Structures are given as structure tokens and as C-alpha cells.
Amino acid sequence: MSTLQGNVLVAQGGGPTAVINQSLVGAVLESRKFPNVDRVYGAQHGVRGVVNEDFLDLTETTVNNLEAVANTPSSAMCSTRDKPDVDYCQDIFRVCQAHNVRFFFYIGGNDSADTCRIVHEESAKAGYDLRVIHVPKTIDNDLKVTDHCPGYGSAARFVAQAFAGANLDNRALPGVYIAVVMGRHAGFLTAAAALARRYEDDGPHLIYLPERPLSKEQFVGDLKAAYDKHGRCVVAVSEGVSDPSGQAIASQFTGGEKDAHGNIQLSGTGALGDLLSSWVRNETNIKRVRADTFGYLQRSFLGCVSEVDQREARDVGEKAAHFAVSQNKSGSVAIRRVGDYAVEYFLAELKDVARESVEVPGHFINDAGNDVTDAFIKYARPLAGELPDFARISAPAVPKVLNK
């Protein structure tokens, strides 16, 4: 096995997560240990920083600083929504060549994996020896091949803690509470609301994912039934939930802002929650109706992290160094579940992870399309970790005296 000698370049792309800096720091610290690595660079603002040569020399960052950064949410090297085409990737490869970068690690989702794939192909075509590793990251948990994605567990934990609290609030002051959760095409994060339940009648009582169409009739009907049963109702809805025609329900309200990938912006607005509230107000006699949109808190809130997620995010960063620097390979780091709960890491082909994404599989969704199954709970609970403890009062009733 020939050994490449040169520099490492690491960058972070797409939406931040609570643990994305664990991957960064894992990759940096592990890379610095290998004698065939000269310098470890970090590009600012992802691939845009690569083509602009906006690099920091992470060889000269203290371990204390890096460890503090590792525990900090949101991409410390800053990020970008740029989705490079072949020309852009050729620029990336040329910058790598100019800086004798032999190992390029890109922490991101399926678009970032695709960037890695193209950069790897273009450098190979040009005969430049460059090892490219995609390090998985997304709160959406929608990457192919891997069992789950670093970043998801912490976001799932936030969603679960939020619903656990909202359920207690709704129990104290009964009514309808609707919360909109991130997830354009994949409902994994919304599904994590189910982890909030402890007592049998705990909310969320209804969970709607983008994988199943949702009509106004179903929504109002389900909600009335749950409200009649519990005297209250807590609902989790994915921002990407679609009507039976396949149109995202939120898309009609966002003023048409589109992101760099041409997708209609769903987050950063309370419109979907307010629409669903209006359905309840107009179609039922329920008076107290509230809607929240969890928004950016679910991916960046300071101080809500799953320990398993934190550890795995660190590990996939370290494995990037092992696979590229030590084993001279390119690919996408992936997670395989090998126990309850245990994982191991392996290297997937870049082409198998790039571009396409996955949705919540059918056996994780109940037949009515308004809840998740126990199989999902079993899948997700170890990723989010056990929630903080909470309890109801257990006490006997006092006999009435006046009985008015």
C-alpha cells in the first residue's frame, strides 16, 4: 500500500448540527497524528472557502481550543449552501493541487457526498492523487447506506425534550398544541416526537410525516377523535407534509423564497402551524389552539446533545483520517448497527451515498399514517438517548364534602 504524503483539507457543508464540530475535531486531531500529513487546513464556509482558498491552519490550533469547539453546536468553520457542478469541482481539485492537499474531508449530507464524488472523479481524471472522504452529517437522517446519520440523534433529542415539555404544558392547560418539525422529505426528525411519551396518554397523540399524504379531513378527524379521548391533543407535524396531490402544504404560504437548490423554503416561518391552527379553529369547537414551529433551535440549541450522537460524530471524523491517511482510500464513512446498542464504521462508495436520499421506511409508520410504530421507537431511542426524568404526582383523591 503506497502512502500519500501531503496536507489535509477539511470543510463543513449544508445545515449545521449540534455535533458537526465533533466530526471536524475528530478529523483534525486524528489527522495530526500521522507522519504522512504535513499540515491540516480547514476551509471557511465549505466548498466556497475551498475555491476561494480561505483556509485556516488547524495544525496550529490548541487541543483545548479544539475540544471546546467540539462541544459547540453549528459548523465552526462556517458553512455554505453551494452545490458544486463539475466546473466548480474542478476548481476545488485545482486548489487542492495548488496547496498539496492529498486528503479532502467534507462533512455534510447527500449533496456534499455528491461533491466528494465529483471532486474525486475529476482529480482521478487529471492524474492527481487525492483521497476524498465524505463524513456524514444531517439532522434529517436521510443518507443512504448508513444506519443513521450523526447530527440526527441530538436533533431528535431536542424534539423529544420539546414535546415532553409541551405535553406537560398541554396537560396543565388543556387544548390543542401543534408543533412543526424540520424535515422536507424525510420524517425521521418529526417521528422522534414519539420518544417524548412515557405515560399511556402522553402526547404527541398524532404524528404526521412527509412520507404520507395529509388531507384537511383526516387531520381534523384524527384531531377531534384524540381530543374527545384525552380532553386535549398534542400534534407533531413535519414541515414537509404534503396534501393528497403531493403538494407541500407549507409551500403555498412562504412567499416563494427558494434556496440555492431551487427548493421552496419551508423553515423560518410559522405559516404552516398557523394554517393547521386555522383548520382546527374553523372546523371544531375547540377554543384553545396553539401552534409552534421549532425552527432553527432543533439543529443549533446550545446545551442539548445526545451522548451517543456526540461520540459517533467524533468517530466518523476520526475514521475519515483512518480511511484516507492511513488506508489510502476514498469513500463515505457509514455506520452499521451491530448490537442493541452498538455500532461499527465502514467505508461506503461515494456514488452509493451521493445525491439521493432515503425516507422513513414503511414499517416505521402506522397504518393510519398518523403515528410511528414500536419498531421506530426501538430504532431511534438509543440515538437520542434517555430523556431527563419526569413524573406525575401519585396520590389518592380526597372525598368531596360540599359536592356542589
31 forms part of the interface with a second copy (CB under 8 A)? no
Q: Please pick, from the candidates 216, 295, 345, 369, the single residue that binds a second copy as defined by CB under 8 A.
A: 295
Nearest to 383 by CA among 346, 348, 337, 333: 337
| Contact range with a second copy by CB under 8 A, out of 72-80, 135-143, 184-192, 214-222 | 72-80
CB atoms within 10 A of CB 29: 20
**Considering only residues 201-230, where is the footprint of a second copy by CB under 8 A?**
none
Those residues with Cβ within 8 angstroms of residue 201's Cβ, 6 or more apart along the chain or in another chain: 230
**Considering only residues 83-102, where is the footprint of a second copy by CB under 8 A?**
94-95, 98-99
Determine the angle formed by the axes of helices 20-31 and 307-321, rounding to 10 degrees. 40
| Contact range with a second copy by CB under 8 A, out of 135-143, 165-173, 181-189, 339-347 | 165-173
Q: Please pick, from the candidates 4, 36, 38, 78, the single residue that binds a second copy as defined by CB under 8 A.
A: 78
Residue 140 falls in the annotated catalytic set: yes
C-alpha cell at 385: 438517548
Q: Please pick, from the candidates 214, 304, 354, 360, the single residue that binds a second copy as defined by CB under 8 A.
A: 304
Which 3 state secondary structure label does DSSP give 289?
strand
Q: How far is the CB of 281 from a second copy (least distance, A)?
A: 7
Q: Please pick, from the candidates 22, 80, 146, 330, the single residue that binds a second copy as defined by CB under 8 A.
A: 80
Beta strands 342-348; 289-293: pairing state: unpaired
Please give the single-letter amino acid code of residue 118.
I
Catalytic residue among 114, 140, 142, 371: 140
Buried/exposed code over 336-349 (b: 16+ C-beta within 10 A; e: otherwise)? eeeeeeebebebbe
CA angle 163, 169, 170 (to 5 degrees): 85
| Contact range with a second copy by CB under 8 A, out of 139-147, 171-179, 199-207, 321-329 | 171-179
Beta strands 331-339; 342-348: pairing state: antiparallel
**Considering only residues 226-285, where is the footprint of a second copy by CB under 8 A?**
255, 257, 267-271, 273-274, 277-278, 281
Q: Please pick, from the candidates 22, 110, 115, 300, the single residue that binds a second copy as defined by CB under 8 A.
A: 300
Q: Please pick, from the candidates 2, 228, 367, 398, the single residue that binds a second copy as defined by CB under 8 A.
A: 398
Q: How far is the CB of 249 from a second copy (least distance, A)?
A: 15
123 forms part of the interface with a second copy (CB under 8 A)? no
Q: How far is the CB of 128 from a second copy (least distance, A)?
A: 15
Nearest to 156 by CA among 271, 272, 301, 342: 301
Decide whether 278 or 327 has the Cβ nearer to a second copy.
Answer: 278
Q: Please pick, from the candidates 132, 145, 162, 235, the single residue that binds a second copy as defined by CB under 8 A.
A: 162
Between CA 36 and CA 100 the distance in angstroms is: 12
Residues recorded for the chain: 404
| Contact range with a second copy by CB under 8 A, out of 38-46, 187-195, 333-341, 348-356 | 38-46
Decide whether 268 or 362 has the Cβ nearer to a second copy.
Answer: 268
Decide whether 138 or 161 has the Cβ nearer to a second copy.
Answer: 161
Q: Please pick, from the candidates 61, 251, 263, 284, the single residue that binds a second copy as defined by CB under 8 A.
A: 61
* φ, ψ (nearest 5 deg) of residue 233: -160, 130
**Considering only residues 317-376, where is the footprint of a second copy by CB under 8 A?**
none
| Contact range with a second copy by CB under 8 A, out of 114-122, 166-174, 310-318, 349-357 | 166-174
Between CA 292 and CA 272 the distance in angstroms is: 10
Between CA 75 and CA 191 the distance in angstroms is: 25
394 forms part of the interface with a second copy (CB under 8 A)? yes
Q: Are 11 and 43 in contact (CB under 8 A)?
A: yes
Q: Please pick, from the candidates 26, 27, 32, 73, the single residue that binds a second copy as defined by CB under 8 A.
A: 73
Q: Are 233 and 203 in contact (CB under 8 A)?
A: yes
Which 3 state secondary structure label does DSSP give 133?
strand
Q: How far is the CB of 365 from a second copy (least distance, A)?
A: 25
| Residue 267 burial (C-beta neighbours within 10 Å; 0-12, 13-18, 19+) | buried
Catalytic positions, please? 140
